[in-house]
Structure 1
Amino acid sequence: MKKQITYLSIIISILLVSCNNHTSMNSITSGEIIKPKAPKAVGPPRILFIGNSHTEYYVSIPTLFQELCNANNKNVNVQQLITMGVSLDKVYYTNKTEANQNFSNIDKDGNYYDYVILQESTPIALTNLSMYRDNLKLFAEKIHKNSPDAAIYVYQNIPPLSYKNSEYDSYYKELRKNAILAAAFIKNAGLLKVGDAVKDAYQGKNGYIYLTNNKDNLRDGKNTLYLINDGGFLQAVLLYATIFDEKPIIPKKLILSTGTGDNDNMRKQEVTKAISNPKALEEIAFSNR
C-alpha cells in the first residue's frame, strides 16, 4: 500500500514563496463560489476522480465515497485517473491512452460523465495560477466533448504545513483564492471545499479535537502530509454532502487504513474505532458542502 515518494524538494520550493505575496492578496468569500449543476442522468451517474496522492494514498477517497453511496442506496459509477506525485497535466500524459478512451465514450443521455473532481498538485495550486488554469482547461476541454454538461469540482488543496506552523493561514488563503480563480475559467465548475473543511476541523468546530498524544488525527507524513482515516473520512463525507446536499447514513464499517507504516494497508474497519469523532467530522463536512 505504501508508495515511496520523495516530495522534499517540492515542499522546499513551496516554503520559499514569500509570505508577503500571500498576505497582499485579498481572500475570497464563500459567497463567490458557485455550485455547478449536474446533468440529469439516465441510469447511474458517473463520477470521475482525477488527481494524485491527495486523492488516494493512506486512504482512498473514491473507495470511501463509493462505500457511502452504497450504504445510502445511491447507485453511482465511480472511476479514477490517479498518478502519484504529479500535476494534472502529467496525470493526463501518464494515462493518455486510458484517458482518451474514457473521454471518447458516449452515453444516451448526452453526458458520459456527470461529475468530475479535478485535484491539482499543491505546488501548482499554490504558486502557479496560470498553469493551474491551463491544467484544468486541458481536462475540461476533453471532458466536455462527450460530457458537455458535466459538473466539475475543483479540489481546494490543503496547506502543505503543520497546522501549528505560523504560515498555515497564509497558505490556506492563497490556495483558496487560486482555486476559485482557476475554477472561474471552467464551464459549470465549482469548488470542493476540502481546505475549508480541514481548517474547520483543525480549529475544533463541532467539538472535534485533531490532536491525540501530540499526533495529528487528520494528516500524517514526513515530507508530505497525507490524509489519514479522519481526514479521508471528512473528505469523502464532504463530497457526498456536496453532490447530494444531504448527510449520508454512515455504515458501521468502511475501508480505512490500518496505519501509516510500510506494512499497513486498507481494510474494512469499524468506523467508531478507526475514526476519532465521526459525528463531529460529519457535521463539519455538511457545513462546507
Structure 2
Amino acid sequence: MAPLRARRRVLGALTLVRGEGHPPWGEADVALVEDLTHRIALALDNARLYAETQAVAVRLQRSLLPDLPVVPGLRITARYSPALATAQIGGDWYDSFVLPESGDTTLIIGDVTGHDLHAAVTMSQIRNMLRGIACDRREPPGMILRRLDLAVDALYSHRTATCVYALLKGQEGGPYQLEWASAGHPPPLLVTADGDTTYLWEAHGLLLGVDPHAERPSACLPLPEGSTLLLYTDGLIERRGESMDHGMTRLRQHAAALVDQDIDELSDELMNGLVAGAHDDIALLALRLPQSDEGVSP
C-alpha cells in the first residue's frame, strides 16, 4: 500500500495485492509503485487545482456583472456562460440602467479582447467609465462611444474592445424607439412579435482602441410593439471552421422560432441551443416590449 501524496497532501492510497504462487515484492517493485503513485497523485492534484481555478474564474466573472433595472412596461433579462473548455476569465459584459433626468433605459453589450485576469479587470473599468460618461452626458450614442474611446486610448492604449451602446426612449407602455451605435460589435437582432428578424447593421464603427478620433455615427429606429431585441457577444455565433454568416443565420432562426416564449424562456433556450460547440464566453442581453392589448406589465 502506497499513499497518493502531492503538495503535502494525501489524496488517497494505492493498494496492490499478489496472490499465492507469486514472489514477494522486491525493491524494484517498490520503487516502481512509489513512482506510479507520485504520478497519479500529481495528476489528481492538477485536476483538483484546475477545477478550483475554473470555479474561481467563473465566480469572479459573474461578480463583475451588474443587476438589471426594473423598468415598468419592459422585460429585460441577461445570461452569461463562461467558456467551459478553459479556466481563463473572459472580457464579455452586459449592462443596463436608467439614465438620470431623461429616464432613458440603456442597453449595453461589450467584449474586451483577451482571456485573462487583466482582460476582466479592464472590462470592469471600461464598463464603469461608460456608466459615468452616459450619466454625465446627454448625447447621442455615437458621441458617448467616442468619448469612451478617448478614455480607453488614454488609459488602456494596448487594449481593444467591442461595444454596442443603445438607448431605449419612450413613455411607459410605448411607443418606443431605439438609438444606438456600435464599436466593432456584432449587430443587435430585432425580432418582431410575428417572428420577422432584422439585424441592425446601421451605425457600425471601429473597435474601441483603434482610432479614438474617428467619427462614430448613431442610428434611430422605431420598435414595433411586442418585439424582442437581442444583444449578444460573438461567442454565441462564432464556431471554429465556420463562417460568421452561418452563425448569424442560426441565431436568427432560433430566435424566430422562440418568439412566442416568455423572454426568460427564450433566453434560456437560446443559450442551451447555441452554446454547444462554443469556445468563448457568451453574454446575452434581451429586451421584450409590451403589446398594446396586454397593458403595462407589472
Q: TM-score, normalised by structure 1?
A: 0.31
Higher RCO, 1 or 2 (CA under 8 Å, sep at least 6)?
1
Normalised by the length of structure 2, the TM-score is: 0.30
- Between Structure 1 and Structure 2, which shows a larger proportion of helix residues? 1
- Computing the radius of gyration from Cα coordinates, the structure with the larger value is 2
* Structure number with higher strand proportion: 2
